[in-house]
Structure 1
Amino acid sequence: MSSSANSGNDGRTDRQPAKRAFAEEFGDASQIFQDGDDERSPKFAVLPTGENANRVLAMGTLTETENVANSSDSEYWQGRVVDPTGTFFVYAGQYQPEAMAALRGMEAPEYVAIVGKPRTYEGDDGDMLTSITPESVTKIRQETRDQWVVETAEQTLDRINAMEADEGEAAARAQEAYPEAEMSEYRQEVGEALAQVAGIELESEDDSEADE
C-alpha cells in the first residue's frame, strides 16, 4: 500500500510516505513537531527508534469498534487494532467520512490495514497518548498482515542500528526527545513479533531464570 499523489495548489504535490512501526513503539511516540512555519506545514511524530512519521501504515486485527461521540446525534468512531506488540487506537469523525464508514460497517475481529496521521492527546491520567487519524481503513488477508510484520521488523531493526551508530538527523532528534528510550526493548519486540508470525513460542526471562 503506497502513498498517492495530491493535486493541491499549495506547491506540495506528493503526500509524505507512510512509515511502518509496531504498536508498542508507536504508542511511545509522544513527541510531534511541525516542519515549517506555515500553519499548513506537515507535522511529524518522532518515533523512538529514529524516524519522523507524517503518515503511518499499520496492520493488525481490528478487535473492537465503538461510536464514542458525546452526542447521540453525532458519530466519532474508535477502533482498536492489535499487532503482535500492542494496540493502535484509531479515531475517525466527520472529517474522515470514508474511514468512519469503514469502521462503522466492520465486525470484529477482522484483519485491517490503516493508513493515517499520528495524533497525540492527553489521557485522563495526564499522560500523552498517540493515536491514528485514518485516511483509509481496509480489510486485508492474514498473509498481508504477516508480510507487514516482516517488513516492519526489518525497517525497525534498520532504524535501531542507525540509532546505535548515531547516524542521521532523525536519530539525533529521537535521542533528544526520548533520552531514556532503550533500543534493546524495541529489538526484543521485533523478535517477539516475528516469532508470533512464525508460530514460535519464545522463552521468557522468568522461564530462563527458573531453569538455572
Structure 2
Amino acid sequence: MLKREVAKRVFAKEFEACRELEKSARSSSEPTDSKSPNLLISPLGLILNRVFVVGVLTELDSIGAQSEMWKARIVDPTGAFTVYAGQYQPDASIFFSTVRVPAFISLTGKARIYEPEPGSVFISIRAEEANVVDEEIRNRWVVDTAEQTVDRLEAFSRALESGFRGETLREYLLERGVSEELAEGISIALERDRFPREFAKQLRASIREGLKALDFEAEDTAGAAYQKEFVLELLREMGGNKGVDYAVFVETAVSKGVPEEVVEEVVRSLLAGGQCYEPRIGIIRLVG
C-alpha cells in the first residue's frame, strides 16, 4: 500500500513557480514505479504532491458542461492559488456548491501541472477537502507557513553561499541539520534555476509584506492609525456588497483630507492581509 504524501504548507508565490520533478531526478532510495506519486519541486527545493492552504476565496465559477466542475481562486499574502474540483472530488464539489464568496477557507488538495507547450505552464490544485474558517485561523496559517518558508530560505541561502553542487551539496546540507528531502530538493533546484537569488529575494519581500499586513496598525502613531481607520470605514460605506471603483475611492478619500499615499498603503495592506480583494480589475471589496 502506497504511503499518502504529506500535505505541505506553501505560499502561492512559491507554489506558482513549481515545476515537475522527473522521476529520473529523484534519489535512488525513493520508489519510482508507475504507482509513485507525481511530484513538483519549487525553486527553493520544496518537493510536494499535496498541499494545505488557507486564504480568501475570491472567485468561484461552475465551469462544467457535461458534469459538475468548479474553478476557484484562493488568495494568500503572496498571490493566488487556482483550484479545481469535479465529480471525482465529491466533498470539495459539495463545499463549493454551497459556499459564498468571499470567505476565509482552508483547503487540502493535490498539486497539478499542465504544460500544453514548452514555456507555457499552468499550476493548480485538485481539491480534496475544503472548509470555511475564520480570520484568526488564516492568520495562524500565514505565520506558520512563513516560519517554514523562512527556514527553507535560510537553508537555500547556505547552499548558495557554499558554492557546492550535486551530491557534495546534499551532504553539506545534511551535516548542517537540513532534512534529507529538502537537501535533495535544493540540490536539484540549483541545477535548474538560472536566477535563484532573485526568486529568493522576491519571496522574502512578499512574506515580509504579508506578515506586516496582518497587524498593519501595530506600530502606527495615533494620527496615522486614525487615518487608516477612516479609510477602512470609508471603504465599508462605499463598497457595500459589490465593491467600489478603486480610482473613485482614492479620489473620495483624498477629498476628505487623507493623503493619497496613506490610502494606497491601507489598500495594499488590506489586499496583502486578505481583508480586501479585487472581484474585477479596478474594483475593490472588503471581505465579510
Taking structure 1 as the reference length, the TM-score comes to 0.82
Provide closer, same or farther for how the CA distance between residues 87 and 123 of structure 1 changes in structure 2, counting only shifts above 3 A: farther
Structure 2: which 5+ runs fail to align?
Answer: 24-29, 160-172, 174-182, 220-260, 266-288
Shift, 1:124, TM fit: 9.1
The equivalent of 1:173 in structure 2 is 188
Higher relative contact order (CA 8 A, sep 6+): 1
CA contact (8 A) 1:120 1:129 kept: yes
Q: Does 1:25 align with 2:20?
A: no
Deviation at residue 40 of structure 1 after TM alignment = 1.5
Alignment of 1:1-212 (within 5 A): 10=1, 12=2, 14-34=3-23, 36-69=31-64, 71=65, 73-122=66-115, 127-166=120-159, 167=173, 168-181=183-196, 182=198, 183-199=200-216
Residues of 1 paired with 2:111 and 2:43: CA distance? Answer: 14
Higher helix share: 2
State the aligned residue count: 190
Q: How far, CA to CA, are the matches of 2:127 and 2:82 in structure 1? A: 10
Please state how far the C-alpha of 1:122 moved relative to its aligned partner: 3.3
SS at match of 1:108: coil
The code of the aligned residue for 2:191 comes to E
Counterpart secondary structure, 1:191? helix
SS in 2 for 1:25: helix
Q: Aligned equivalents of 1:30 and 1:78: distance in 2?
A: 21
Structure 1 portions without partners, runs of 5+: 1-9, 208-212
Q: 1:195 is aligned with what amino acid?
A: K
Q: Larger C-alpha radius of gyration, 1 or 2? A: 2
Conserved? CA contact 1:56–1:118, under 8 Å: yes
Inter-partner Cα distance in structure 2 for 1:140 and 1:97: 20
Find the aligned partners of 1:145 and 1:124 in 2 and give their Cα distance: 36
Shift of 1:62: 0.3
Residues 123, 194 of structure 1: alpha-carbon distance in 2 compared, 3 angstrom cutoff: farther
Secondary structure in structure 2 of the residue aligned to 1:165: helix
With over 3 angstroms needed to count, the CA separation of the structure-2 counterparts of 1:143 and 1:81, relative to structure 1, is same
Q: Distance in 1 between matches of 2:210 and 2:94?
A: 30
- Is the Cα contact below 8 Å between 1:36 and 1:42 reproduced in 2? no
- TM-score computed with the length of structure 2 as normaliser: 0.61
Whole-Å separation in 1 of the counterparts to 2:101 and 2:192: 36
Range that drifts further, 52-61 or 167-176: 167-176
Q: Distance in 1 between matches of 2:191 and 2:122?
A: 19
1:145 and 1:153 map into 2 onto residues whose CA distance is 12
2: CA distance, partners of 1:56 / 1:79: 15
SS of equivalent to 2:53: strand
Structure 1 stretch displaced more, 180-189 or 18-27:
180-189
